[in-house]
C-alpha cells in the first residue's frame, strides 16, 4: 500500500470526482465566477460537496443553516438535497460576495429555496432564534468563532440535528499544542467543545482531496 503524497491523493480525488460526481455546469460556473471575482478558492472539493448533499438527503433535512456562503458552491449542493418546500438560510458577511452567491444560486435554479442573510454570523444568528429548528447546520466560516457557531447550532437545532464543521485538521496543525495561529486555536476550541459539551455527540475525519490535507467534524445534537 502506497503512502499518500500530494500527487497521489489529487489523482485519486480526480478519479473519484469523475466517476461519482461528474460534471455540472451550474456548479462549475459558480466556482468560475467566484474565481473571476478574486474570491479565495476555499470552497469545498466536489466530493465533499456531494457528501454534504447526501448528508442532507440521508438526514431528511428540510431546513438547513449554512454559516459562510462564499460563492454558494456548497449552498447549491445542499439546496438540491432538500424538498421543494425546504429552505436553506446561508449567512455571508460581505455584500459583494453575497451578490455573487445570489447570482450563482439563480443560475443553478435553486434561488427559490435559499435565503442569503447579510451580516456577521455572530450578529445574524440571534435573529434566527425562535424560528422553526434547523435539521442540518454546516459551519464553514472564520475558525476563530467556531465555538460561537456551535453554541448557536445547538440552540437553533433540535435533538437529531446534524452539524458539520469544515476544515478541522488544517494540514495536521490541529494536533499542535504549541500553535499560536488563531485559526488553528479556534478549530481546537471547537473540537474540544464538541468533545465535552453534552449537547453534542461527535467525531471527526481526516480528508485528502483536491484542497489538500484537512478534515471534517460530524455531530448530532442530543
Mean pLDDT by 10 residues, the chain (222 residues): 83 94 88 85 91 97 97 96 97 94 95 97 94 95 97 98 97 95 97 98 94 94 98
Element (H, E) at 11: helix 6-16
The predicted pLDDT at position 99 comes to: 94
* pLDDT tens-digit readout, 121-144: 999 999 998 789 999 999 999 999
Residues 215, 169: contact at Cβ < 8 Å?
A: yes
Residue 147 CB partners (closer than 8 Å, separation 6+):
186, 189, 190, 193
Helix (H, G, I), strand (E, B) or coil at 220: strand
Query: Would you tell me the crossing angle of helices 146-156 and 182-196 to the nearest 10 degrees?
Result: 30
Q: Which residue from 89, 78, 15, 5 is spatially nearest to 44, judged by alpha carbons? A: 78
What integer pLDDT is reported at residue 41 of this predicted model? 80
Amino acid at each position: 500500500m502506497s503512502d499518500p503524497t500530494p500527487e497521489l491523493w489529487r489523482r485519486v480525488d480526480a478519479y473519484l470526482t469523475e466517476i461519482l460526481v461528474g460534471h455540472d455546469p451550474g456548479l462549475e460556473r459558480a466556482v468560475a465566477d467566484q474565481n473571476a471575482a478574486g474570491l479565495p478558492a476555499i470552497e469545498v472539493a466536489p466530493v465533499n460537496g456531494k457528501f454534504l448533499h447526501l448528508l442532507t438527503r440521508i438526514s431528511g433535512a428540510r431546513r438547513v443553516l449554512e454559516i459562510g456562503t462564499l460563492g454558494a458552491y456548497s449552498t447549491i449542493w445542499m439546496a438540491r438535497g432538500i424538498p421543494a418546500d425546504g429552505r436553506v438560510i446561508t449567512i455571508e458577511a460581505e455584500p459583494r460576495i453575497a451578490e455573487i452567491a445570489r447570482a450563482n444560486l439563480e443560475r443553478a435554479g435553486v434561488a427559490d429555496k435559499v435565503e442569503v442573510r447579510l451580516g456577521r454570523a455572530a450578529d445574524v444568528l440571534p435573529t434566527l432564534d425562535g424560528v422553526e429548528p434547523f435539521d442540518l447546520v454546516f459551519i464553514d466560516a472564520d475558525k476563530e468563532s467556531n465555538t460561537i457557531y456551535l453554541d448557536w447550532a445547538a440552540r437553533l437545532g433540535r435533538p437529531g440535528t446534524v452539524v458539520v464543521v469544515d476544515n478541522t485538521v488544517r494540514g495536521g496543525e490541529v494536533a499542535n499544542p504549541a500553535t499560536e495561529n488563531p485559526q488553528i486555536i479556534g478549530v481546537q476550541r471547537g473540537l474540544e467543545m464538541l468533545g465535552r459539551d453534552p449537547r453534542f455527540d461527535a467525531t471527526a475525519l481526516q480528508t485528502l482531496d483536491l484542497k489538500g490535507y484537512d478534515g471534517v467534524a460530524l455531530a448530532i445534537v442530543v
